[in-house]
Amino acid sequence: MAVKKRFFITGTDTDAGKTFVAAGLLGAAKRANLRTIGLKPVAAGAELVEGKWCNEDALALMAQTSVKLVYEQINPVLLKEPIAPHIAAEKEGVTLSVSRLEGVIKGSLLTPHDFALVEGAGGWRVPLNSREMLSDLAKSLGYPVILVVNMKLGCINHATLTAESIARDGLNLVGWVANMGQDMPYYDENVAAINSIITAPLLAKLGRYENLDDSHQEFDNILSQL
């Protein structure tokens, strides 16, 4: 694998499984003896951990980040309420902008590494402010995109529209992951339907896992395709 592989992780909606996939891939990269960095530039929803406000998803990425970074490098913007980031930011008096987020991401990625993932928030078209969306940050970074599809009723439409938006923004969708967060009737048929529409390769069909340790083989396989 070439040095400094970087990807942007997005999903079809919130709770699609982006963090599970990102943490799983970072874990696979660590098992391959790569220096890993996982970043969550914007996180909405915080809890006190040992007296410090943190986000659960950011902590999951931090646990799989093998290079030494402090929490604020991994999650530079932490919003306390688990709501749309631009609304939470306005309520807390926080300014969100592509230029600010891009700067802190690139600063964190100055640390020597081999494999890095930047995880978005919610879906592809999430507002940061009245003019910019999180997809604008992905465009500025220019990293290849991995799409996590929340396999539930409506997923074909969500996956197709998201893939079309990524292509319209001029970014390379390197593959997509079918994530079964809940039991879904006709799961295989829905995966096949999406796979017949989206030209990017299907990287994996994930079942329901209790933890990352149960899915090492799947994520090792995904990593080998990137």
Give the residue extent of every domain in the chain. 5-225
pLDDT of res. 208: 74
| pTM (whole model) above 0.85 | yes
Pairing of strands 173-179, 115-119: unpaired
> Does residue 148 sit in helix, strand or coil?
strand
Average pLDDT over residues 115-141: 97
pLDDT of res. 3: 58
pLDDT tens column, 196-209: 999 999 999 998 77
Rounded to a whole number of angstroms, the distance between the first and last alpha carbons of the chain is 9
pLDDT of res. 210: 63
pLDDT tens column, 155-189: 999 999 999 999 999 999 999 999 987 788 999 99
pLDDT of res. 1: 44
Q: Which CATH number fits domain 5-225: 3.40.50.300, 3.30.1490.110, 3.50.90.10, 3.90.120.10?
A: 3.40.50.300
Q: Which of 4, 5, 18, 40 is catalytic?
A: 40
Average pLDDT over residues 8-16: 95
Question: Taking 80 as the threshold, does the pLDDT of residue 132 lie above it?
Answer: yes
DSSP code per residue over 33-54:
T--EEEE-SEEE--EEETTEEE
125 vs 209: which has the higher pLDDT: 125
Q: Does 40 qualify as catalytic in the annotation?
A: yes
Helix, strand, coil percentages for the chain (3-state, nearest 5): 40, 20, 40
Average pLDDT over residues 77-102: 95
Distance CA 65, CA 80 (A): 23
